Structure 1
Amino acid sequence: MNAPLATSRKLTRFIGYFDSLDGLEVRGWACDLATPRVPVVLHVLLDGQEVGRVTCDLPRPDVQENIGVMTPQLGFSFHLPASAADGKPHRVGLRFPDRSMVPCLVGAVEEAFEEDILVTLQPRYVYESFVDGFGRGALRGWVQRLDPATGERTGCCEVSVFVDGVPFMHVRADRFRGDVAAAIGGDPNCGFEVVIPKRRRGTGQRSIRFVVTPGDVELQGSPLTTALVDDRLEEHLLSMSETVTNLHREIARLRAKMLDLLPEQRYSLNDYDAWARRYFDALRARVAERRRQPGMLKPEEQPLVSVICPTYKPDMTDFIAAVDSVVAQTWSNWELIVVEDGSKSPEVAARIAEYSRNDSRIRLVRLKKNLGIAGATNEGIKAAKGEWIAFFDHDDLLVDVALEAMFQAAQGLEPLVIYSDEDKIDQAGYFLEPNFKPDFDYRYLLGCNYICHLTMVRADVLAEAGDLHAKYDGAQDHDLMLRLTEIVPREDFLHVPEVLYHWRKTPNSTASTVANKQYAVDAGVRCVSDHLARVGHDAIVESINDITIYNVKWKLEDTPSVSIIIPFRDQVEITRECVNRLLSSTDYPAFEIVLVDNWSSQPETLDFCRDIVRDERVRVLIIKEEFNFSRLNNLAAATCRSEFLFFMNNDLFVEDASWLRTILGEARAADDIGAVGGKFLYPNGTIQHVGVAVGPDGVAAHVHRGLAGNDYGYIARALLCHEVSAVTAAGMLVRADAFREMEGFDEVNLRVAYNDVDFCLRLREAGWRIIQCNNFVAIHHESLSRGSDDRPEHEARFFAETQYMHDRWSENPLYRYDPAYSRHFLLEQSYHDLAKPV
């Protein structure tokens, strides 16, 4: 219709009319006279509540001719929610961006009026249906949609099935039903069949509802009350199966309860001293047992270890204890080289002379002037005769079996660098603050020198790496470790997961407070920056909170494409919030969002999907199958051509505009990085996820769960980026070629739970690394989207998936001993509680 040229309406910068209502479709036009080429966004109201927004970007040549505005598109079309077609009166209206009313020209009126119109919208369709019942392992029925205006009967309706009030499945009623067509006519493709998996069958009566969607119209014969068995034999077999399953669960519960009731002491990190005293006894027993095993090195075959100990004005009590700890080694083929760094201390010289008279393995190198820690260490290395070089501070302690335990672990492996766990010892002799380290982790090493003590390096490798550099004094050992990574393959770094070194904690030591050595912080920043420059990385290195841990921010040199895959079912407000944050808060240009709609039925969701795809960065993939998280993601990934896939829950909310650049930088930092996860917080600011630890005691656990979001975590692992065995698919970036190599998630055995953990383990097994990127932070409303696995209706499925993980991975070393999580920690806790000392 032509737009009127004059009305009684007061002139504003916005003009336009609501000029058509056809069924549920609202049409009209609008223009902003101040910026006529920018489409206007109108607010749509139903009964005074906003139900959506519509952009005026459709052609309306009739309007352009009349108002003379040179813009080709200013029309709009909006579909009201299907729930409005209920035969009841409703008020419909629209508002301009300034909330002024859009005039209405609907109906037989000569002049526009400014008020919401009152309409009664009748349901367009009615449904005829019937539920036949259960037989041969399936629920059957039919439904046809009848258009009262034309009398047309159509099939292919969508049906939601609920078992005992819980959503069970969505199906399309498109099976051939010639009997129905013969009886009432219409489309014969109107039947449905819901096959009940054997794991969901069982004895006892079930109440089953069938509802046509959208519209929530219940089928005739619904709810159906029936037992989901075909015959007495099946009922008997299912009853037996249920009994066995229940017994298995009860045994598991009883075992857990018995463990809780046993009077065995449990240890936390605060109980470490008590734990350690039992642990060291067990350690010595293990070393002695291995010493007797065939194939272990005999005394005459033991390689010489040169222990380098630079010293400068030491506390003599601590120094004597340090030397005595070397003398006490069960590994006999060692030499101790004490480098007196220009302090000209007669006391040190006299004490070493006495040691040397009693043990020729102890030698003193006296420097005429102070060279600093790096220079003194270099002089000690020059004097060394050993095949291996070990580094030792003048006030620390070696565990008596330290060297022997290192070589026992290296037996048959031929590593080039060996390092162990360590702890601290205070002036009262208490053990505290253990550093239970991961296996070699280059990304973690960039953030801190976690390797530290005890470290042994082959002498020829150390000669190739070169001297320690005095310009990094305070971080000279960190610099050395980084330079070693430039010539030593990662598989030739061996971690010995035993506490073999005690770092002395005194008021003036770095072990007590880094504030005493600010120069060490500055040196650490320089050594990490210089290393990255040498290996060709463009990155920014900064100290975190002015201590010796460092944040590395990678610079992304290109813009690889990313597909963000988000499965959802209804929950339109959550999904809209998730998507809108991505679209409005992401400063990265090369991404698309793939919304995977798994049987959404609410009218508001359908409206959202129709509106959101107007953004060219968004597409909707509709998958009408039973919920299977693995399959939904696999099907979506198969439609993507991007270099990276970002799997995301619809309850994960991002805020940082650079989030995608951040994780892409991590993923592109090395060619063997297959996946990257993020740091996710609960809405209250506590940690939900900073990596997943795996193991047979509990399959998987979110470490640091429940800590404050700004907490350092264990050895700064809640702040620093590092390698992990798994990350959650609530927010996981994966190389597309790695995803295809793994053939995606396991959609057969792990439909809902643990599919991300299994996928990550398969990545690790194939040689890919996984990075926990703690620089990418988002808010995660965990399980808001699909609910928790501990609900009764999920118990059987979750139990089966848990058992599959145990069966699939129980013999795999990656699963038995998570290389990123110490075997000295329990897996069943959300934070680091100590396992039984063995």
Structure 2
Amino acid sequence: MKAPLPTSRRVTRFLGYFDQMDGLELKGWACNLAAPRVPVTLHVLLDGQEIGSVVCDLPRSDVQENIGVMTPNLGFSFMLPASLADGREHRVGLRFPDRSIVPTLITDGEDFLEEDIRAVLQPRYVYESFVDGFSRGALRGWVQQIDPATGSRKGQCELSVFMDGVPFARIRADRFRGDVAAAVGGDANCGFELIIPRHRRQTGQKTISFFAEPGAVELQGSPVTTTLVDDRLEAHLLSLNETVGRLHREIASLRTQIVNLLPEQRFNLADYDVWARRYFNVLRARVAERRQQLGPAFIGKGPLVSVICPTYKPDMTDFVAAIESVMAQTWSNWELIVVDDGGKSLEVAARMADYCRTDPRIKLIRLKKNAGISGATNAGIKAAKGEWIAFFDHDDLMVDVALEGMLQAAHGSDPLVIYSDEDKVDQAGYFQEPNFKPDFDYRYLLGCNYICHLTMVRADVLRRAGDLSATYDGAQDHDLMLRLTEIVPREDFLHVPEILYHWRKTPNSTAMTIANKQYAVDAGVRCVADHLQRVGHEARVEAINNLTIYNVLWPCGRQPSVSIIIPFRDQVNITRECISRILAHTAYKKYDIILVDNWSMEDDTIAFCQEMEKHKQVSVLTIKEEFNFSRLNNLAAASSSSDFFFFMNNDLFVEDADWLETILGEALAGADIGAVGGKFLYPNGAVQHVGVAVGPDGVATHVHRGLRGDDYGYIGRAVLSHEVTAVTAAGMLVRADAFREVGGFDEENLKVAYNDVDLCLKLREAGWRIIQCNNFVAVHHESLSRGSDDRPEHEARFFAETQYMHQRWGDVDLYRRDPAYSQHLMLDQNYYDLVTPE
């Protein structure tokens, strides 16, 4: 606190005092009575040593009004080095130019001492925060701690919560808030939510306050005064919500208001173990219901499944658990072939002999010499008698309904390869790191073996693909999957979107670490490169950061023509920057730029258009109509005869000279690729776009929005190129033939929003693939050009376009269940939150 002016002190020509220490910041004032208009320079001492000086030239109106001296600004502020916040006591003081001590107020705030302060220094805690209020029965908000010296923003702060002034809870603000990171930067893990327990949801007003710790700094938007919902009102609201949802689903705004009043347990990836234990009960019930529907004939006449389990010196506890997880299968028509790969373990041999006597479905093959993972697996496949062959590691676990769930999903569709989702289980039995996979994605498979476990292959198809090759040990399963793609059509790969397999996570397992697995990284690069060579593709393959994930860089090959189409209205500086970057940073030569001038009004724009048209690669198409993004792009495309269109916002800035060749190479890698999108970052480096997921719960969402630009993302999908259902037209390459085939953008119903999503859905429905190319990176100033849809004047139009998307696509499987995004992940978030199992 600032001190009152001193009433007396020793006579000196210098007057002043040191009245405040705010964290590491020293504050006070000083003046020279002999020369009051000359700022005084003070010396700063730490532990008796001078560490700097500070000039007293800051405003201090409280002092200037009281000392009666005509003097300019005389306040000072000095920031001590951050390294001094080391938990130890230090002596801090200031000296006038004549080396006399600047007086310091002691802790009782009444007297001044001419001595230094002794204190354990602490940094000043600066926070930016906001309490959003109630949503879905919880109080939500966010907070970031800001380092005053560097400006860096840190999440995962601790909060003290008070209800009616009484301590109520202590929580950590560590939930993912991509919207915050996108807006202000810093750590996206800065969100919090507080669910009020039922026994505290009494009627009547309650005041809830939030304070960031350390420092007890109250959050912006705190306190919140609200009337909590009691059980009786909650039941009434639930009933009302069901009625409204059934009779009037399209009134989304009303539903949101009601839902926001209702408590609902939410799960994110950090809650996966709790979610999984609830999910597996639901999964078992779902399989049992399907069993009843298919009837006893399905189980009685169902195919034999051969489970191949190569083993070499396993941990006995984990090995026993693995074998017994197969024995516990609800599907009874299986055989388990355990291949002892020259391990020569008497304990394993004895235990396996017991299992073979107990259950004739279990068979043991002993190899005299160690043949490696590929050789041992081949021996098991050779002995298998099943119609299906499943692959199983000797320390992993199958969910008890795994085989039955796989075969139920295959019933009636006759696939050749089936794979499920998977997770990991640690040594304490906690479920972790779920891998919710997309439907078959060849592009993603080139970057990593996302299929992995549990995988079942028709025995005849597997034998036609050939033995596993020891050349690729460490990546032998990846090599097998790629070889299967060479003989199995993509429609004959079936994804079962259920967690049916648990990787065992131990200190020495691949699931735990890639350390000392360089051979696996090298083998993975070779197997991908060899596969591409076999199918006639020239491409460069390289490991990403020396991990078992791979970057595939396609050469452009032939040189198709590209029209870069950029609508704009005025905003000359932004548009000029966009165009200048294209012209300066595009090595590919066979392109032109079509600037679509949508009724610009400013004089500067006329001169700008004339300037741009002097470039031989730039033309200007003037359209004097109301803004209709779809129509502007359609008209520009109609005026072009290029092989490809690149639809581009005027606030997208490219820097990499190879950007256009990169996405063209991606588009030319497959004759069925209709569109390619890029990875776009906000100016602060956070992710704005790495693909769009679609669905009736929210029409579309930008996955990974707000993530750090260099983060791998969920299962590598922020760095690996992969198939998606939609990409943003802020920067989207579209094959011209495909664009014309589906009728271009919808300029009647989707003038502003969702036109890119609708175009992508039409392309997917027509059989074209869409690639999210994460090798093409650019900076996007989202909505800088036309503003946000959240503004009140846009609400009616945005609502109508949202309703059209539901009506147009609501009955289409592609929209109801995005094949590139798991049904277990929520769409109404911008990161991977989990859908409550039901």
Q: What TM-score, normalized to structure 2?
A: 0.70
Counterparts of 1:681 and 1:299 in 2: how far apart (Å)? Answer: 52
- Does structure 1 residue 634 correspond to structure 2 residue 628? no
1:664 aligned residue: 664
Counterparts of 1:596 and 1:423 in 2: how far apart (Å)? Answer: 49
Asked if structure 2 preserves the Cα contact closer than 8 Å seen for 1:693 and 1:726, the reply is yes
1:200 aligned residue: none
Asked if structure 2 preserves the Cα contact closer than 8 Å seen for 1:674 and 1:769, the reply is yes
Counterparts of 2:253 and 2:599 in 1: how far apart (Å)? Answer: 36
Specify the code of the residue in structure 2 equivalent to 1:641.
S
Asked if structure 1 preserves the Cα contact closer than 8 Å seen for 2:655 and 2:778, the reply is yes
Asked if structure 2 preserves the Cα contact closer than 8 Å seen for 1:290 and 1:296, the reply is no
- Cα offset for 1:810? 0.6
Counterparts of 2:251 and 2:407 in 1: how far apart (Å)? Answer: 42
1:831 aligned residue: 831
- Cα offset for 1:490? 0.1
Write the mapping of 1:441-590 to structure 2, written as runs, cut at 5 A. 441-590=441-590
1:624 aligned residue: 624
Give the direction of change, closer, same or farther, for the CA distance of 1:626–1:295 in structure 2 (3 Å limit). Answer: farther
Specify the code of the residue in structure 2 equivalent to 1:392.
F
- Cα offset for 1:263? 2.7
Counterparts of 2:553 and 2:331 in 1: how far apart (Å)? Answer: 43
Counterparts of 2:437 and 2:770 in 1: how far apart (Å)? Answer: 17
SS in 2 for 1:298: helix
Write the mapping of 1:247-646 to structure 2, written as runs, cut at 5 A. 252-294=252-294, 297-646=297-646
Counterparts of 1:681 and 1:586 in 2: how far apart (Å)? Answer: 19
- Cα offset for 1:294? 4.2
**Superposed CA offset, 1:486-520 (max 9, x none):** 00000000000000000000000000011132211
Specify the code of the residue in structure 2 equivalent to 1:421.
D
**Superposed CA offset, 1:682-704 (max 9, x none):** 00000000000000000000000
Asked if structure 2 preserves the Cα contact closer than 8 Å seen for 1:296 and 1:408, the reply is no
Asked if structure 2 preserves the Cα contact closer than 8 Å seen for 1:648 and 1:730, the reply is yes
| Structure number with bigger Rg | 1
Counterparts of 1:699 and 1:458 in 2: how far apart (Å)? Answer: 37
Counterparts of 1:734 and 1:299 in 2: how far apart (Å)? Answer: 48
Counterparts of 1:506 and 1:423 in 2: how far apart (Å)? Answer: 14
**Superposed CA offset, 1:13-71 (max 9, x none):** xxxxxxxxxxxxxxxxxxxxxxxxxxxxxxxxxxxxxxxxxxxxxxxxxxxxxxxxxxx
**Superposed CA offset, 1:221-268 (max 9, x none):** xxxxxxxxxxxxxxxxxxxxxxx9xx9899633422433332321000
Identity %: 77
Asked if structure 2 preserves the Cα contact closer than 8 Å seen for 1:789 and 1:795, the reply is yes
Asked if structure 2 preserves the Cα contact closer than 8 Å seen for 1:510 and 1:516, the reply is no
Counterparts of 1:275 and 1:335 in 2: how far apart (Å)? Answer: 32
Counterparts of 2:394 and 2:540 in 1: how far apart (Å)? Answer: 34
2:124 aligned residue: none
Counterparts of 1:626 and 1:780 in 2: how far apart (Å)? Answer: 24
Asked if structure 2 preserves the Cα contact closer than 8 Å seen for 1:508 and 1:516, the reply is no
SS in 2 for 1:404: helix
Counterparts of 1:596 and 1:444 in 2: how far apart (Å)? Answer: 35
Counterparts of 1:296 and 1:740 in 2: how far apart (Å)? Answer: 51
Counterparts of 1:489 and 1:248 in 2: how far apart (Å)? Answer: 42
Counterparts of 1:589 and 1:295 in 2: how far apart (Å)? Answer: 63
Counterparts of 2:320 and 2:291 in 1: how far apart (Å)? Answer: 29
**Superposed CA offset, 1:690-734 (max 9, x none):** 000000000000000000000000000000000000000000000
2:704 aligned residue: 704
Counterparts of 1:577 and 1:256 in 2: how far apart (Å)? Answer: 40
**Superposed CA offset, 1:606-656 (max 9, x none):** 101001111110000011111110000000000111100000000000000
Choose 249-258 or 325-334, whichever is displaced more.
249-258
1:808 aligned residue: 808
Counterparts of 1:622 and 1:544 in 2: how far apart (Å)? Answer: 45
Asked if structure 1 preserves the Cα contact closer than 8 Å seen for 2:335 and 2:362, the reply is yes
Counterparts of 1:261 and 1:725 in 2: how far apart (Å)? Answer: 33
Specify the code of the residue in structure 2 equivalent to 1:579.
I
1:11 aligned residue: none
Counterparts of 2:300 and 2:620 in 1: how far apart (Å)? Answer: 71
Counterparts of 1:521 and 1:731 in 2: how far apart (Å)? Answer: 33
Give the direction of change, closer, same or farther, for the CA distance of 1:251–1:462 in structure 2 (3 Å limit). Answer: closer
2:23 aligned residue: none
Specify the code of the residue in structure 2 equivalent to 1:371.
A
Counterparts of 1:518 and 1:533 in 2: how far apart (Å)? Answer: 23
2:17 aligned residue: none
Counterparts of 1:466 and 1:776 in 2: how far apart (Å)? Answer: 36
- Cα offset for 1:345? 1.1
2:169 aligned residue: none
Asked if structure 2 preserves the Cα contact closer than 8 Å seen for 1:541 and 1:552, the reply is yes
1:84 aligned residue: none
2:683 aligned residue: 683
Unaligned runs of 5+ in 1: 1-243
- Cα offset for 1:837? 1.2
Counterparts of 1:525 and 1:580 in 2: how far apart (Å)? Answer: 38
Counterparts of 1:296 and 1:741 in 2: how far apart (Å)? Answer: 47
- Does structure 1 residue 737 correspond to structure 2 residue 724? no
**Superposed CA offset, 1:367-403 (max 9, x none):** 0100000000000000100000000000000000000
Counterparts of 1:834 and 1:430 in 2: how far apart (Å)? Answer: 17
Counterparts of 2:539 and 2:469 in 1: how far apart (Å)? Answer: 22
Specify the code of the residue in structure 1 equivalent to 2:518.
Q
- Cα offset for 1:836? 0.8
Specify the code of the residue in structure 1 equivalent to 2:273.
D
- Cα offset for 1:680? 0.2
SS in 2 for 1:646: strand
Counterparts of 1:408 and 1:248 in 2: how far apart (Å)? Answer: 35
Counterparts of 2:553 and 2:624 in 1: how far apart (Å)? Answer: 42
SS in 2 for 1:420: strand
Counterparts of 1:332 and 1:707 in 2: how far apart (Å)? Answer: 45
SS in 2 for 1:645: strand
SS in 1 for 2:834: coil
Give the direction of change, closer, same or farther, for the CA distance of 1:735–1:373 in structure 2 (3 Å limit). Answer: same
Counterparts of 1:555 and 1:254 in 2: how far apart (Å)? Answer: 51
Counterparts of 1:520 and 1:249 in 2: how far apart (Å)? Answer: 51
Count of equivalent residues: 593
Counterparts of 1:257 and 1:412 in 2: how far apart (Å)? Answer: 42
2:692 aligned residue: 692
**Superposed CA offset, 1:267-301 (max 9, x none):** 00000000000000000000000000046753221
SS in 2 for 1:293: helix
- Cα offset for 1:348? 1.1
SS in 1 for 2:516: helix
2:799 aligned residue: 799
Specify the code of the residue in structure 2 equivalent to 1:550.
Y
Unaligned runs of 5+ in 2: 1-243
Asked if structure 1 preserves the Cα contact closer than 8 Å seen for 2:250 and 2:803, the reply is no
Counterparts of 1:249 and 1:721 in 2: how far apart (Å)? Answer: 36
Asked if structure 1 preserves the Cα contact closer than 8 Å seen for 2:479 and 2:527, the reply is yes
Asked if structure 2 preserves the Cα contact closer than 8 Å seen for 1:309 and 1:336, the reply is yes
Counterparts of 1:308 and 1:650 in 2: how far apart (Å)? Answer: 56
Cα RMSD of the aligned pairs, angstroms, is 1.4
Counterparts of 2:754 and 2:367 in 1: how far apart (Å)? Answer: 60
Specify the code of the residue in structure 2 equivalent to 1:350.
A
